[in-house]
Amino acid sequence: MRDNRGVGWRLVEFRTLARFGTPRTFNPVVTFPEACVEVTGAMARIFLGSLLFGVCGGFAWHSWATIREAWLRVSVVALLALTFLVAFAALMIGIRAAVDGMLNRVRVQKT
């Protein structure tokens, strides 16, 4: 049997909020200082990650534009991409460690 309702009604039934569930790291019982530390960590990840990507991308572009030999050009850019990935991973691990350290200081000690 054919459904005579419009496309909009079928899409409304399809859309559910279950797809937008909270992530597993979400803590519903968080104090204001803990939330400030988490937000600062998120902003540091965004800003420093973007800055690192811009600097490494600029170096890769400059290397690509100035090196004449194709094999050397590809090698240098691949090495810069690998360096970026390692530096990015170290940056994310460092920020996570700093956030965890700050959270340990900020959390109320339960006795």
CA dihedral 56, 61, 67, 73 (to 10 degrees): 70
Choose among 101, 81, 109: nearest CA to 37.
Answer: 101
Choose among 103, 85, 97: nearest CA to 49.
Answer: 85
Per-residue pLDDT of the chain (111 residues; tens, 9 = 90+): 555 655 555 555 555 555 555 555 666 778 888 889 999 999 999 999 999 999 999 999 999 999 999 999 999 999 999 999 999 999 999 999 999 999 988 886 654
pTM above 0.75, yes or no: no
Q: Are 95 and 46 in contact (CB under 8 A)?
A: no
